[in-house]
Amino acid sequence: MPQYAVPTEPGLAPVISLGAAQKHHRGQVQSQQGSTVILRSSNLQADREVHRHIGINADLHLNDLHRVIDTCFELPGAGEGEDSEPWYFSQPGKDNSESEQLDRTRRIRDYLGEPGQQLLYHWGLWRITIETIDSYPRDAGTPQALCVGGSGGFDDADFNPSIINARLTGKDTIRRVLSHAVPNIRRIIERTRLFDFVALLQAIDLSRDVSLTPEAEKICRQLPLETEPRRIDAFWSTILGLSCLSGDELGDEVTETTMAALGWGCPQGGKLAGPAIRELCRDSLQALSSIGAYRSDALSVVDRLDIYRRLLRGA
C-alpha cells in the first residue's frame, strides 16, 4: 500500500491521504486548525453494498455531514438545497437498538472525533453506518470535505470520485484554487475533468511563499523544455504525480491516469506506462534532477515540495 494511503475495505482502491502527506511535509508539526477525520461509511443491503471513505473537518456540524454524505452517496436531491427524504443521525444502542435523534447543530468531533467511534445516518428508509478510522491535524490548505475512496452506488452508476469531489468543493472554490495555478495545469484539469487535483492543489497551498536557490528558480522558469504537446502533457502529468509525494507506484498511477484522460496512449493501444511517460519528458526531468527535485540525490520532502509548488503556480 502506498506510503500515504488510507486503509479501505477489500475491493476498494487505496487512496492518498493528503493530510498525512501534509504532516510529513511539515515535520509532524501540530496544526492549530483542528482535525480531519476519515470516515468509513457503508450501506449494506441484500442485493448491493455501497461504501464511501470521506475525509471531513471534524469541527463542522452534523448538518454539514448530512450534506456531505448525501453528495458522496449521490442520494436523490443532493446539492439541490432541499431534502427529498427525512433524515437524522443516531448512535448505535448497546442492545442494537437506535438511540434518539441527535442534535444537528452538534459538531462532528463530538461523536466521531476518535477512531472506532460510530454513528448511524438515516435517510428515508435507508441507513448508513459511519465509523471513524483515522484522524490527523488540519492546516489552512486542507479541504473541508473530500471523498477519498469508495465502491458501488444506489443507481448502478460507476463510482466517480472526481465528479463527487467537484460537487463537494463547489464552483467558487475550484475557480479560486485554479486561479493560482499555471495555465497548463488549469487546462489539464479542465480537459480531463479530474477535479481531484483541485484538492491536491489546495493541500499544496500554491499561495504559500517559496524561497528557492537562484539556480532552482532559473530552471523552474525554463520548464518544461519540451515543445511537442504530448511531451508537455507528459511533463505536467509527471509533476502532478510527483507532487503527491506517495512513492513511485502511486505516482505512476496518477501520471498514467492523467495522460490517459488527456487522450494519449500507446500506438498499439492501451495506456502509456509511467516509464514511457517519463521518457517523453526526459530532458525536463534531468533538469529537475540537477536541482534535487527528482530521483537520485533528491532534496528533503519539504524542499522538493517547494519546487513543485513553484512549478505548479508559475511565476
Greater model confidence, 2 or 55: 55
How confident is residue 100, by pLDDT bands cut at 50, 70 and 90?
confident
How confident is residue 7, by pLDDT bands cut at 50, 70 and 90?
very low
How confident is residue 222, by pLDDT bands cut at 50, 70 and 90?
very high
- What is the rounded CA–CA span in Å between residue 11 and residue 130? 18
pLDDT of 274 reads: 95
**Confidence check: pLDDT of 144 > 70:** yes
What is the share, in percent, of the chain residues with pLDDT greater than 70?
85
pLDDT of 118 reads: 96
How confident is residue 106, by pLDDT bands cut at 50, 70 and 90?
very high
Q: 24 in helix, strand or coil?
A: helix
Q: Number of C-alpha atoms within 13 angstroms, CB side, residue 108?
A: 30
Cα-based distances in Å from 20 to 26, 33, 258, 306? 10, 15, 23, 17
For residue 150, what is its C-alpha cell?
469508495
pLDDT of 20 reads: 41
Residues 6+ apart with CB under 8 A from 171: none
pLDDT of 80 reads: 64
What is the per-residue pLDDT across 43-83, written as a single tens digit (0 to 9) for each? 998 888 999 999 999 999 999 999 999 999 998 877 666 67
pLDDT of 13 reads: 39
**Confidence check: pLDDT of 299 > 70:** yes
How confident is residue 21, by pLDDT bands cut at 50, 70 and 90?
very low
Q: Which residues lie across from 49 on neighbouring strands?
A: 44
- What is the rounded CA–CA span in Å between residue 119 and residue 101? 11
Mean confidence (pLDDT) of the chain = 85
pLDDT of 2 reads: 29
pLDDT of 208 reads: 87
Q: Please name each of the domains of the chain with its CATH number.
A: 5-169 (3.10.290.30), 202-313 (no CATH)
Q: 109 in helix, strand or coil?
A: helix
Q: What is the dihedral of CA 172, 177, 182, 184, to 10 degrees?
A: -60
pLDDT of 282 reads: 97
For residue 127, what is its C-alpha cell?
441507513
Helices (H) and strands (E) in the chain, counts: 13, 8
**Confidence check: pLDDT of 98 > 80:** no
Q: Backbone dihedral region of 156: left (phi > 0), alpha (psi from -120 to 50 degrees) or beta?
A: left
Sequence length of the chain is 315
- What is the rounded CA–CA span in Å between residue 168 and residue 144? 9
For residue 293, what is its C-alpha cell?
527535485
Q: Which residues lie across from 126 on neighbouring strands?
A: 123
**Confidence check: pLDDT of 234 > 90:** yes
- How many of the other CB atoms lie within 10 Å of CB of 251? 19
pLDDT of 12 reads: 43
CA geometry: angle 262, 159, 201, nearest 5 deg:
50
What is the per-residue pLDDT across 113-132, written as a single tens digit (0 to 9) for each? 999 999 999 999 899 999 99
**Confidence check: pLDDT of 231 > 90:** yes
Are the C-beta atoms of 237 and 188 separated by less than 8 Å?
yes
Greater model confidence, 253 or 155: 253
Which range among 105-109, 194-198, 260-264 shows the weakest confidence by mean pLDDT? 194-198
Radius of gyration of the chain (CA): 21
**Confidence check: pLDDT of 209 > 80:** yes
pLDDT of 14 reads: 39
- How many of the other CB atoms lie within 10 Å of CB of 297? 9
